[in-house]
Amino acid sequence: MNKIKLMSHLVAGYPTTELALTAARSLIKGGADILEIQLPFSDPSADGPAIQTACTKVLERGYKTSDGLAFIAQIHSEFPQVPIYLMSYGSLVYTPGVENFCKKAAEAGVKGMIIPDLPFDYDEGLTAACKKNGMINIPVAAPSMSA
């Protein structure tokens, strides 16, 4: 019988870095097979109010993308067997360069990327950059997209 995989989501650095690390460790020890770690973003349009609030609170502390990647690297170093999927938004990937961002994410231990505003039909080279760096891109499809 195949085991159903459990993927758990958390916002890097929320509510504090130490408490977020404790939450990640607890999720894994509690049975999470995969972690989806979201980098805080100033306008998380695909998220509901709880995640929007969490992102805002983390960013108010001056949290940067590099802090989020360091957070992921810490979790990956403690639990290398647990795949980590990074959830973020296109501008955080596009601004430093898609290839550069993917290289840094892979070095931090990311196995896959979930970038909802870089859909499969306009991903700015994300799928290719992920593949080049040993990751997968998990495209997000919305009913409003053309075929």
Sequence-ordered list of residues with C-beta below 8 angstroms from that of 62, at least 6 positions apart, any chain: none
Choosing from 18, 43, 47, 124, the catalytic residue is 47
Q: Residue type for 128, please?
A: A
Residue 19 scores a pLDDT above 90: yes
> Around Cβ 127, how many Cβ atoms within 10 Å?
19
- Domains within the chain, CATH numbers bracketed: 7-137 (3.20.20.70)
Burial 75-99 (b: 16+ CB within 10 A, else e): bbeebeebbbbbbbbbebbbeeebb
Is residue 36 part of the annotated active site? The answer reads yes
Is residue 47 part of the annotated active site? The answer reads yes
Choosing from 33, 36, 67, 99, the catalytic residue is 36
Residue 79 scores a pLDDT above 90: yes
The model's pTM: 0.92
How confident is the model over 109-127, as pLDDT tens digits? 999 999 988 877 788 999 9
Q: Which residue has the tokens 């979790």?
A: 75
Over residues 16-41, mean pLDDT = 97
